[in-house]
A and B are shown apart, each in its own frame.
Chain A
Amino acid sequence: MEIKVNKEKCTGCKICVDVCPAGAIEIQNEKAYINEKCTLCKLCVSECPVNAIEVIGEEKKVSTLDLSKYKGIWFFAEQKKGKLSHVAYELLGISLKLARTLEEEVCGVYFGSKGEDAAKELFSRGADKVYVVEDTSLDEFRQDVYVCLMTELVKKYKPNIVLASATMIGRSFLPQTAARLKTGLTADCTDLAIDPETKLLQQIRPTYGGNLMAKIICENHRPQMATIRPKAVEEAKPVGNRNGTIVRDDFTSFNATCRVDLISKQEVEQTIDLQEAEIIVSGGRGLGDGKNFDMIRKLAKLIGGAVGSSRAAVDAGWIPYPHQVGQTGKTVKPKIYIACGISGAIQHLAGMSTSDYIIAINKDPNAPIFKVANLGIVGDIFEVIPKLIQKLESK
């Protein structure tokens, strides 16, 4: 397949140059020319006002698999120390949404101890079936073992869709699993849907630092696999006492070996989990210095919030990475998000713009953060915040 410019039609208007995310289009002699940087994304094709950009040689590939043999929506039910993590409920939530169009079973996949408790919890929120591999050693994430178990289960039961959360664990073991199964995997989706006609999984994710959204499909390979960004989708709610089927596979039957040995573990001192926080107060470049985070911490403490930051503040070394909100940090969806001295680069917005209520304080009235703010305060954080702190303290 190739993308070519029809030189007769091209008017040299440069629109395609601006839309190309790869910077692959140049104007030569007033005509557009597509160079080797082209990633075949086809964004230029639909944007060209005179339809001068053509896709050549796009052939319809036919799968060698019998796709109809693959049934069911699977999600990896991640646990921490034998207790289901909230991301498992998020995946269940989105799986149930997909099942409404796809009309296939929603199945959890659980590795760890206390499999029965986990399965019951998932049934009570709407899961039809839970595949359980139970062993206390599985409470710890072991890359090689998780890849082995997931690959073998997929081969045995042939699911149509396999989802995991885009946590560090999901992002580590699912790519290797997909490569072993020789199928596609879409990272860090923020939404999923089923095409009502083709019944294919539509995987929606931000790309180019959150500047663009992409819809991705996996037509001819199974399972269709994706990781889902934490906090991007709604958790499944309890629906009362329901029963489901537990399918057990004996851990020893997998013969899973781990090439990497765990020598020791060190807990990270964590005052509060950003993704669980209902209120977040974040500081950015506008703070000018790491010590000014004290003001942010104080404000956060007074209103019972956690402290977040922009990438700029982390890059400057003012605050450690676990506090970073944004495309390359954490995605958060608190009830209240207060951005202090954060301009609102798209990469930051990608991590917080779905918060319920956003307050922004910035002295630049043109800061992009105001575009997502419910309440925008145009003012100097060093004047406004200390006064606010006073009011909060003296109430």
Chain B
Amino acid sequence: MKYIVCIKQVPDTMDVKVDPETKRIVREGVPSIMNPYDYYAVEEALRLKERFGGTTIAISMGPPQAEAVLRESISLGIDEAYLLSDRAFAGSDTLATSYTLSQAIKKIGDFSIILCGREAMDGSTGQVGPELAEHLEIPVITYVSKIINVAENQMECVRLLEDHYETLKSPLPVLITVIKEINEPRLPSLKGMLKAKKAQIPTWTKQDIGGNDAQFGQDGSPTKVVEIWRPEIKKEGKIVTGEPDELAEILFQELKKLGVA
């Protein structure tokens, strides 16, 4: 059994500060981190190995610096990691990204379960998982909250949809995207950190993974970003201060006016 986890390095944008004068994002000191949802995918791969045996592999596509998140995955217990990095991958949309990942996964070969986080915190598309499954011609199950069993070339799991859970059975190989509920990610162990420090993480370029030139990077990306801007935060309402009693009264009157009190 080979469990392959796809992880992404993202800028830690969720708590960005905006300079009140220039209205620009303060980027200094904003670190790059592993996409928070990917920790759940890494953890689940580790648990699959503990429960059913096998090997865990992490891959990431990104600039050379993205090696850091692969090293982190090794510190958590992942066995092997590969970085997919090439200037030719720059400007990839989700279709080109998923194609690139699929070529690397085919090179690794003989996989049972591919795991992805439900989406990345920066782009928040959630598209790479299902698109990757299509390139690999394997079934995909999104929003998985529990893996019940893996046996005899099949997996049983629970997934969340808008208002219900489904218990599903899929043949292997399969691709799953996981949600927070699935587990509680562990912290790196001391042994893991030492291993991560020493680990060799090969970098694979376009040449290494092979494939159709026209499907990589910007050429392989049907979508194109033509404009980026900062959203304006519009409303300027009234702001009141005062004693708790007064404030509660103002609120009460306001709710009355709105017809709900």
Contacts and interface: CB of A to CB of B under 8 A. Distances in A.
A147 B137 CA distance: 13
Contacts of A391: 248-249, 252, 261
A79 B258 CA distance: 33
Interface string B9-50: 001011110010010111110101000000000000000000
Contacts of A175: 94, 125-131, 134
Interface stretch (A14-22, A95-103, A286-294): A14-22
- Which residue, of A206, A218, A375, has the highest number of chain B Cβ atoms within 10 A? A375
Contact of A392 (B28, B134, B143, B252): B252
A265 B242 CA distance: 52
Contacts of B221: 184
Given A372-B233, A391-B252, 4 more contacts: A218-B223, A265-B167, A353-B235, A375-B240
Interface stretch (B51-59, B71-79, B155-163, B193-201): B155-163
A384 B13 CA distance: 33
A17 B29 CA distance: 12
Closest 9 CB pairs of A and B: A184-B222, A387-B248, A36-B63, A187-B125, A184-B223, A383-B244, A179-B134, A376-B239, A40-B91
B251 A388 contact: yes
Interface residues of A, number: 114
18 contacts: A15-B24, A18-B26, A21-B122, A36-B63, A39-B91, A143-B142, A175-B129, A175-B134, A202-B226, A208-B122, A209-B13, A261-B168, A263-B156, A374-B235, A377-B251, A384-B248, A391-B248, A391-B261
Interface string A187-229: 1100000000000001100111111111111111100000000
Given A377-B247, A377-B251, A179 B225 contact: no
A371 B170 contact: no
A374 B237 contact: yes
A303 interface: yes
Interface stretch (A129-137, A163-171, A231-239): A163-171
Nearest to A180: B134
Interface in B238-261: 238-242, 244-245, 247-252, 254-255, 258, 260-261
Given A36-B87, A172-B143, A184-B95, A279 B260 contact: yes
A217 B224 CA distance: 5
Contacts, number: 302
Contacts of A33: none
A325 interface: no
A12 interface: no
A304 B6 CA distance: 44
Contacts of A371: 233, 235-236
Contacts of A179: 95, 98, 130-131, 134-135
A372 B236 CA distance: 7
Interface of A: 1, 15, 17-24, 35-43, 61, 80, 141, 143-144, 147, 167-169, 171-173, 175-176, 178-180, 182-188, 202-203, 206-221, 259-268, 270, 273, 279, 302-305, 321, 327-328, 335-336, 345-347, 349, 353, 357-359, 361, 365, 368, 370-380, 383-385, 387-388, 390-392, 395
B228 interface: yes
A361 B160 CA distance: 33
Given A37-B65, A185-B94, A384-B247, A144 B139 contact: yes
Given A175-B131, A184-B93, A211 B230 contact: yes
Contacts of B163: 80, 267-268, 270, 273
A379 B241 contact: yes
B141 A178 contact: no
Nearest to A344: B233
Contacts of B121: 209, 328
